[in-house]
Amino acid sequence: MTDGYIDLRSDTVTLPTDEMRRAMADAELGDDCYGEDPTINRLQELACEMLGMEAALFVPSGSMANQIAVKVLSKPGGEVICEEECHLIHHEAGACAMVSQVQLRGLPSRMGVLSADDVHAALRPPDPYQPRSVLVAIENTHNAAGGTVWSLDDVEAVASVAREARLPFFMDGARLFNASVASDTPARDYAASCDIVTLSLYKGLAAPMGSLVCGRSDLMQDAWRYRRVLGGALRQGGVVAAAGIIGLESMVDRLAEDHANARRLAEGIAEVVPDGAIDLERVQTNMVFFDTTSVNSSPAAFADALKTEGVLAGAASSTAVRFVTHKDVSSDDIEKAVEVFRRVV
Ligand SMILES: Cc1ncc(COP(=O)(O)O)c(C=O)c1O
């Protein structure tokens, strides 16, 4: 479909490596509903080691992982305190309302990072007219803010507000390893203050599918049940978990290349567009957002023009296109994409 294009729509377009394909073909398999798939078990153990968590559960997608986390940690009728542009609010098809029957209270942020004071101020008092706060949720990296990174101090500050209020704390870490590599912060340090962390294996880590829900053992027993409820219980899922193991073992460090490519792309774009059309401060990992109104275009029209020149980008909002770097675009591709961008502008 996208042969011949430089595909910068998302890191979800990455294809498994040859090593992954071989590991998938050779994977030892069993029925995971009996806990007997050795490859899934190995993947889950590896995630626990990397995050310092007690237990992990392999699930088909990042959205399912997030929905299981919210379901496990919340109560119907409750309010989840989160960031106003987060994935839970905008990109999970209203699932939190359907699955967990919670409302999402989106707070403004600085580039996706909530302030502990704002979270504290959003805690509901014990008033029978108001909903109950049930969960604090953050996203790291923050996708809609530009792939921005939470510092460990910011995570711990918000986590401690949650802890003092006796609320659980959840991190959507679909791209946690991007945050970890960019900030040189071990993923386990980020995870230490969280009740549950979710991870995606199929984005920058390049597995074909699969995410992990990681947390305390007692919570993971509930998670197992809700995975079943959502139809995500797996049988010989080790056939894809095998690729996830390689993702965790050997694709994390190379994320730095994606970050360098995003920086190069952003700087190349910044040279030819009006000031403010691109915010270099937000280019912290593998994403670049460009405000197309600065060149009197819509995101869809701009993306179409790029496509005719061989570059794919996604319309991220009514004003911006998004470029995402990943292992299937090289630094040469990025130079070509900068050239195409200049021609199109
Ligand atoms: C922040 C974040 N969370 C979760 C997900 C998982 O979404 P999906 O299930 O569509 O892969 C994504 C995917 O892009 C994401 O960006």
240: CATH: 3.40.640.10
Token digits for 131? 């909903």
Q: Which H or E run contains 60?
A: none
Q: Both 246 and 259 in a single domain?
A: no
Q: Both 224 and 301 in a single domain?
A: no
Confirm or reject: Cβ of 87 under 6 Å from ligand 1: yes
Residue linked to tokens 């996604």: 314
Q: State the distance from the centre of ligand 1 to the C-alpha of 174, rounded, in angstroms.
A: 6
Confirm or reject: Cβ of 62 under 6 Å from ligand 1: yes
Q: Which domain holds residue 85?
A: 18-250
- Domain end residue (candidates: 216, 250, 284): 250
Helix %, strand %, coil % for the chain, to 5? 45, 15, 40
Pocket test residue of 64, 83, 91, 211 for ligand 1, highest count of atoms within 8 A of CB: 91
pLDDT for 276 equals 84
Q: Dump pLDDT digits (tens) for 171-218.
A: 999 999 999 999 999 999 999 999 999 999 999 999 999 999 999 999
Confirm or reject: Cβ of 115 under 6 Å from ligand 1: no
Q: What is the mean pLDDT of each run of 10 residues along the chain (345 residues)?
A: 87 98 98 97 98 98 98 98 98 97 98 98 97 98 98 98 98 98 98 98 98 96 97 96 98 98 97 90 97 95 97 94 97 97 95
Task: Compute the distance between CA of residue 98 and CA of residue 101 in angstroms, rounded to an integer.
Answer: 6
Q: Both 181 and 235 in a single domain?
A: yes
Q: Both 223 and 284 in a single domain?
A: no
Phi-psi region of 184 (alpha: psi -120 to 50; beta: other; left: phi over 0): left
- Domain end residue (candidates: 215, 231, 250): 250
Q: Both 227 and 273 in a single domain?
A: no
Confirm or reject: Cβ of 327 under 6 Å from ligand 1: no
Residue 45: CB atoms within 10 Å? 13
Ligand 1 atom at minimum distance from 141 CA: 1
Ligand 1 atom at minimum distance from 175 CA: 1
Confirm or reject: Cβ of 172 under 6 Å from ligand 1: yes
Residue linked to tokens 């567009």: 273
Confirm or reject: Cβ of 139 under 6 Å from ligand 1: yes
Q: Whose CA is nearest to atom 6 of ligand 1?
A: 62
Q: Both 330 and 241 in a single domain?
A: no
Confirm or reject: Cβ of 90 under 6 Å from ligand 1: no
pLDDT for 243 equals 98
Q: State the distance from the centre of ligand 1 to the C-alpha of 137, rounded, in angstroms.
A: 14
pLDDT for 274 equals 83
Pocket test residue of 99, 143, 149 for ligand 1, highest count of atoms within 8 A of CB: 143
For 162, phi then psi, to 5°, come to -60, -45
Q: Both 229 and 302 in a single domain?
A: no
User: Could you give the number of structural domains in the chain?
Assistant: 2
Residue 83 falls within a domain, yes or no? yes
Q: Both 266 and 231 in a single domain?
A: no
Confirm or reject: Cβ of 63 under 6 Å from ligand 1: yes
pLDDT for 1 equals 47
CATH of the domain at 304: 3.90.1150.10
Ligand 1 atom at minimum distance from 61 CA: 9
For 8, phi then psi, to 5°, come to -110, 20
Task: Compute the distance between CA of residue 29 and CA of residue 39 in angstroms, rounded to an integer.
Answer: 6
Confirm or reject: Cβ of 285 under 6 Å from ligand 1: no
Q: Both 210 and 281 in a single domain?
A: no
pLDDT for 254 equals 98
Asked if 321 contacts 146 with a C-beta cutoff of 8 angstroms, the reply is: no
Q: State the distance from the centre of ligand 1 to the C-alpha of 202, rounded, in angstroms.
A: 10
Q: Dump pLDDT digits (tens) for 30-59.
A: 999 999 999 999 999 999 999 999 999 999
- DSSP letter at 33? G
Residue 1 falls within a domain, yes or no? no
Q: Both 286 and 224 in a single domain?
A: no
For residue 275, give Cα distances in angstroms to 234, 270, 279, 290.
50, 8, 9, 11
Pocket test residue of 172, 196, 198, 326 for ligand 1, highest count of atoms within 8 A of CB: 172
Mean pLDDT rounded to a whole number for the chain = 97
Task: Compute the distance between CA of residue 172 and CA of residue 178 in angstroms, rounded to an integer.
Answer: 13
Task: Compute the distance between CA of residue 81 and CA of residue 187 in angstroms, rounded to an integer.
Answer: 23
pLDDT for 264 equals 98
Confirm or reject: Cβ of 66 under 6 Å from ligand 1: yes
Q: Both 332 and 199 in a single domain?
A: no
Cβ-Cβ contacts under 8 Å for 27 (sequence gap 6 or more): 39, 238, 239, 241, 242
